[in-house]
A and B are shown apart, each in its own frame.
Chain A
Amino acid sequence: MFNQLFPNVDWVKMWEATYETIYMTVISTGVTFILGLVIGILLFLTSPNQIWANKVVNFLTGSLVNIFRSIPFIVLIILLIPFTKFLVGTIRGVEAALPALIIGAAPFYARLVLIALREIDKGVIEAARSMGAKTSTIIWKVLIPESLPALLSGITVTAVALVGYTAMAGIIGAGGLGNLAFIDGFQRSRDDVVLMATIIILVIVFILQFIGDFITTKTDKR
């Protein structure tokens, strides 16, 4: 019955594309989480009245984040072609999509991290300082655990956005479901292929959102 509804779908290709999309999403989400966290914490600690209060560093980091956050993703991919070529050696394939995905998503996530950290009660940070805590202790044992639910719901939002980005990256030949839907579906007027790719993308998004919400609620002890 499935084959009647989707006569043109090549299931082997479809699963391969699904794997590629998941691969791109997982790797880019993982790297974005770390990179965004580092940038977000840097933005937070260098903001006024914080431990590393530093106007210059804060301004430069903030500007960089804003610039990369403002460039539309499809334009960013094109702009990054020389950089990708230098880094990965090619501009085609799954690996070639990663630099653009990460550089596109990390600044966005860094903003979410900053918002999450600002929500932490200032008194808790003061209490840690009054106990003689080092900055590294404050980062690992106060900032991250105390903002964890917000950090996790932030990365969920980012991961969902990244699924969308991978589809866009597919159009310039990065592989994945977006690529398949565009090349095999749209360009050959096979609507069933486009539909199936869409359904799978939706399922991936729902699963991501479900896992994200579940872990967020689990970690929130407030």
Chain B
Amino acid sequence: MIELKDISKIYKTKNGEITAVKDVNLTINKGEIYGIIGYSGAGKSTMIRLLNGLEKPSTGTVEVGGHQISSISGTKLRQARQKISMIFQHFNLLWSRTVADNISFPLEIAGVSKAERSKRVKELIDLVGLTGRENAYPSQLSGGQKQRVGIARALANNPEVLLCDEATSALDPETTDAILELLLDINKRLGLTIVLITHEMHVIRKICHRVAVMEAGRVVESGDVLHVFQNPQAEITKNFVMQVSGTKESKESIEQILVNYPTGKIVKLTFIGNKTEQPVISQIIKEFDVEVNIVHGNITQTTSGPYGTLIVQIDGKPNQVEEAFKLLETREIQAEVIDHV
């Protein structure tokens, strides 16, 4: 569906060249929700704008839905853009138009007749749950409602791809969840391919199937969300995973335990899928002569199943602790010894 090959984007400024994106190769499948995460300045904004030709790559090719976006221009590019919609962090609605007229705007651009436009607008208003607010102006709406208008507007021309540029970053946590639910629903119902960029791991966790982590213009890690969560490689990815697994707050408690219990081992257990529900801890205590002290526990839901972390202190005779580890391994549970914070 979407393919980026050897993409680099270099901006020429007065103070020399700035490389926004470097050597990126990426394939996004049809019907997938693909997340790109990174801190600000990592090049994600540029990346997403390469997909609808708002930015042109310095090298490499961008292909979306059979169109070579990086090389077409004029009418061809404008027509391709009608099938690649975009929603924005700050919504970017026309304040001079009502909700209905804002949603109608892309239809006007596509040359849809007036009768069809009003029919389609009505459908979309129902779809995003804004019935009754058709004649309101954007200034009279809340942030969440504005983003719903943005989504309805983006869906007007039945696009194949929806690009989300930090679409929830300006919203409060509850509204964020509601908007994410809506995106997930649209993805399932319409089979739309969604590419989103964000700096919140929460967003990735909640709706994405696959994720790419960006740092300084490069994709440093990518893969299935669950896999990346369980097995983060790059330092930056570990930081992002900590955002949602809550292990950041447990740092202090681990520190305290390391001081209080110099003996034994602090172990971080990672469970994925249905293994999350196994009673391994009680098994260890029953079968071996060890003490288990729970420091921190957390289960996170992702689109492809639950993901859990449990931090425990296992104390006892060295050979007993060793045996306990072996048991954990047979259960395909990742056990990682933490000896420093």
Contact = CB atoms under 8 A, between A and B. Distances in A.
A142 B94 CA distance: 7
Contacts of B88: 123, 126-127
B313 interface: no
Given A127-B86, A134-B78, A141-B105, A221 B54 contact: no
B82 A132 contact: yes
Interface string A16-52: 0000000000000000000000000000000000000
Contacts of A131: 81-82, 85, 105-106, 109, 153, 157
Contacts, number: 67
A132 B78 contact: yes
Contacts of A123: 88, 90, 92
Given A124-B94, A145-B96, A222 B86 contact: no
B54 A126 contact: yes
A134 B109 CA distance: 8
Q: Classify chain B's interface size.
A: 20 to 34
A142 to B, nearest CB: 7
Contacts of B80: 132
A121 B146 CA distance: 15
B139 interface: yes
A81 interface: no
B79 interface: yes
B92 A121 contact: yes
A221 B109 contact: no
A132 B54 contact: no
A129 interface: yes
Contact of A141 (B79, B85, B108): B108
Contact of A221 (B78, B79, B96): B96
B277 to A, nearest CB: 44
B96 to A, nearest CB: 4
A146 B81 contact: no
Given A133-B78, A222-B139, A145 B97 contact: yes
B86 to A, nearest CB: 4
Contacts of B95: 146, 221-222
A214 B54 CA distance: 39
B207 to A, nearest CB: 21
B39 interface: no
Interface string A95-125: 0000000000000000000000000010110
Given A141-B105, A145-B97, A222-B139, A132 B81 contact: yes
A130 interface: yes
A137 interface: yes
Interface string B64-91: 0000000000000111111011101010
14 contacts: A121-B90, A126-B54, A130-B84, A131-B109, A131-B157, A132-B77, A132-B106, A134-B78, A137-B108, A141-B108, A145-B96, A219-B96, A221-B96, A222-B95
Complex A-B, nearest 10 residue pairs according to Cβ-Cβ distance, in ascending order: A132-B81, A132-B78, A127-B92, A123-B92, A145-B96, A130-B86, A221-B137, A131-B106, A132-B82, A133-B109
